[in-house]
Structure 1
């Protein structure tokens, strides 16, 4: 009845949605925005989510040049990475709307999209999801953690529980924007802590909105591994291209 009075609007561009039952994303986005998601090349590094480009064989097919030597040296640690798209227009604008514009509908859309891509990735699904925690200051400013919002809907789609209190941020780092990857890792060292022992037999999905250099997710991953986690799947909507 509500749809008859107020037609559904695309959460991204606010155009009318003509066929909300066309597919699993059509109840959130219009045909034009969904078309942006379809046909994108999504051959990515299995560890950090970087696009491998038109000739993935040059990178060994599965990992980028940065991750390939690190993976070879850590064969005992099980990890993977699922990313929906590069952090480029208009997806960067969608992330900004979610983070700063209280566009909760985009959180539902992105979470469902991330859940779909996780199912399509061909890797083992996680047993549970943990969002990257934000600082208390940002939580007070925004009223929500965008990573937790995305994780909530991704978990709903793949039917997995989400635990927002298993990983916490214990302090505040200086601004990351102008720092390189190595500086970011040093800046974030020790800022995340697991609140309980991690069951070694469970596969954990670590969820964020954007992977920039990977420093934040690597710091979170280190905290989870210190607590006993063995298998971690990194999950993000966007990845900053190289």
Structure 2
């Protein structure tokens, strides 16, 4: 039985901590309306719907066409833009953990729209936060999202398969090159992983550097492949044109 709760966006009646029907429709429509790269899910203006690679149905951004990341594809639940970006702030800054559950359920819904991808996933692995971040917040946001996501999809959540080897720091003011340098050696997988496909979970995906190096670590550890799963994706016009993301 689900209790009536305020919608996290508009405050009107909703169920079980989820969006109300109207807000759910708007959030989902905003995500589906964007033309995105088939690998990294970066938003592409219509004029940039090229080059095409791998097949005529897979439109790639220039970066993925030239240097594909270590993950095969990406699935995103929401855009990291008004009004949903405020939810991530509430989760990470004000420790509103119920919003991680909402994000996990939203991500599960987006994954179910990709049945071929869902069918090959064997487990869920969260991006680990640094010890400094965990001490500051008291929890790992991707871990909380991954836990709910795994339960919704009926998959195991393997929190010990990936660990952080460097403390790192706040990346939101870094450009793409600086992010790559900050994350290049930040992750290490457990050795001798089973040769299975992994759903790698992060809270916000911006340039894709964190996902790439974390996925690379998992593949070096023995994983057959990795799909990037993110609660939110920063819009192209934000991260391509400003360091303040």
Structure 1 residue 205: Cα displacement:
0.4
- Count of matched residue pairs: 227
Show structure 1 runs of 4+ deviating over 4 A. Answer: none
CA distance 1:185–1:53, change in 2 (3 Å): same
Mapped pair 1:30 → 2:23: no
Residues 1-59 of structure 1, C-alpha deviations (whole Å, 9 max, x = no match): 994xxx42223443322xx3xxxxx7512233213223231442122111233467434
2:55 aligns with none
Separation in 2 of the partners of 1:194 and 1:38?
Answer: 33
Unaligned runs of 5+ in 2: 53-57, 237-245
1:177 aligns with 172
TM-score (norm 2): 0.83
Q: Indicate the RMSD between aligned Cα atoms, in angstroms.
A: 2.3
Separation in 2 of the partners of 1:65 and 1:83?
Answer: 19
Q: Which one has a bigger Cα radius of gyration?
A: 1
Deviates more, 1:36-45 or 1:99-108: 36-45
Deviates more, 1:189-198 or 1:206-215: 189-198
Unaligned runs of 5+ in 1: 21-25
Separation in 1 of the partners of 2:103 and 2:221?
Answer: 29
1:23 aligns with none
Q: In the TM superposition, what are the counterparts of 1:75-114 in structure 2 within 5 Å?
A: 79-114=72-107
1:160 aligns with 155
Separation in 2 of the partners of 1:116 and 1:87?
Answer: 17
Tell me which of 37, 52, 66 is aligned to 1:45.
37
Structure 1 residue 94: Cα displacement:
0.8
1:116 aligns with 109
Aligned to 1:38, the other structure's residue is in SS state: helix
1:8 aligns with 5
